[in-house]
Amino acid sequence: MKDLLATIFLLPFGLFGSGKTKDSSSEGGKAARAAPRNISAKQAKAIMDEGGSYTLLDVRTSGEFRDKHIKGAVLIPVDEIEFRAESKLPDKSAVILVYCQSGGRSARAAKLLADMGYTNVSNFGGIMGWPYDTVSA
């Protein structure tokens, strides 16, 4: 009787697994992707002012970029990230600071970059929330 009760109790665990989820790093030897960070405009400015190496990435349209952008920014519209990032941003471990107009496109671009294997991506939202100097082209 004890054996029958033990079998009935343990059967669901055998059929449905232990409840543990797979770690993505164990699937086919793939390493876990680094998620992009969300930072403030103030934090982005501090990184820029530190003097270290970084890429400032504007993911808006070329028209928006011409109207106003942050000095030193590289333009890759969000819809072109998957096709142009590897040629424009060859170092996948480089610091990349991403912005757009209000934050939606930059969040999308930062996730795309992380999914492509970029490991040090920070999204600081939109130029609308950037209280520092901008330039026009």
| Model pLDDT for residues 70-89, shown as the tens digit of each residue | 999 999 999 999 999 999 99
DSSP 8-state symbol, 117: T
Residue with the larger pLDDT of the pair 21 and 35: 35
| Model pLDDT for residues 25-76, shown as the tens digit of each residue | 434 434 557 899 999 999 999 999 999 999 999 999 999 999 999 999 999 9
Sign for the CA dihedral angle at 62, 64, 66, 70 comes to: negative
Question: How far, in Å, CA of 33 to CA of 35, rounded?
Answer: 6
Q: Is the pLDDT of residue 23 over 90?
A: no
pTM: 0.77
For residue 27, the model assigns a pLDDT of: 42
CATH code that applies to domain 33-129: 3.40.250.10
- State the alpha helices, DSSP H only, in the chain: 2-16, 41-49, 62-67, 81-88, 104-115
